[in-house]
Chain A
Amino acid sequence: MLALIYFIIFALIAVGSALCVFLSKHPLYGAISLIVTMLSLAGIYGLLGSPFVGVMQVMVYAGAIMMLLAFVIMVLNGANDNRTPRFDKVSLFVFPALVVMALLIAFAFFRAQLGFDSMAVKGTVAISAGTLFDTQNFGYYLLVEAVGLLLLSAMATAVILARKEIGSKPENENSEEVH
């Protein structure tokens, strides 16, 4: 019972801030709203008995990714085009289509043959960092190493893509070369 109440609270916050992401004018407002969504989702993960995942979500997602996004918005002056309207003719076509799609998926959900007791949220086997790096049992350490490589390559890619040519002009007249 209590779980339900907590769940509803978290769900409302998540949906509300998702709507704020949808409707906000300034991308920075949207980014902040998205952080709030992620925090509430982390709460739901904890409620469901996966606190490790929830903490990971807060640390990586809300803490690193959204921070990166916020920085880039501020650097690139994300609300540059103030004349960009939020919704236009295409949106009129999009909303009904997405509603239809939602209904379809819901329909598929509720008619699906689920081979498990979908009504019970069972207890927890909480995972921990040990589960990830366990080498005796079926561990996921190889995957963790692979993910590490993936992140390294992504970082390298980003640096190569977005750096300036050596010797080219500064982006605008106000900035000064810092070597």
Chain B
Amino acid sequence: MELQAMYIQVLALILLIIGLATVLSRRNVFFILMGIELALNAVNLSIIGFSKTFAAAASVTGQIIPLFTIAVAAAEACVGLAVIILIVRNQHSVDIDNYSNMRG
């Protein structure tokens, strides 16, 4: 058996699902950030996997995109962590269920 392209997609799907599950079901705010990073990684894997099925010249683009995705993820993690610092300083808790000011 050879390594087939679809296997990479399946792996990417599994990682995406686990990342989304982490986002949705954990109450600690750091885990949510980590889940988002995991999902982004899964998408990167998927893009590279697909790009590798093209002919040589066309697959360059498919490898450049993940680079930029990584850069953007860095920026996003930076700003997100700043916001988390603010929130935790304000609410004194890392439980996101306590963050709402809405009643009921």
Contacts and interface: CB of A to CB of B under 8 A. Distances in A.
Contacts of A60: 70-71, 74
Residue with the greatest number of chain A CB neighbours at <10 A, chosen from B1, B7, B34, B52: B34
Contacts of A143: 64, 68
Contacts of B72: 147, 150
A147 B71 contact: yes
Contact of B77 (A69, A86, A87): A69
B30 A125 contact: no
B45 A41 contact: yes
Interface in A34-79: 34, 37-38, 41, 44-45, 48-50, 52-53, 56-57, 60-61, 64-66, 68-69, 72-73, 75-76, 78-79
**Chain B: interface secondary structure?**
helix
B93 A69 contact: no
Interface residues on A, range: 35 or more
Interface of A: 1, 3-4, 7, 11, 14-15, 18-19, 21-22, 27, 30-31, 34, 37-38, 41, 44-45, 48-50, 52-53, 56-57, 60-61, 64-66, 68-69, 72-73, 75-76, 78-81, 84-88, 90-91, 94-95, 98-99, 101-102, 105-106, 109-110, 116-125, 127, 131-132, 140, 143, 147, 150-151, 153-155, 157-159, 161-162, 171
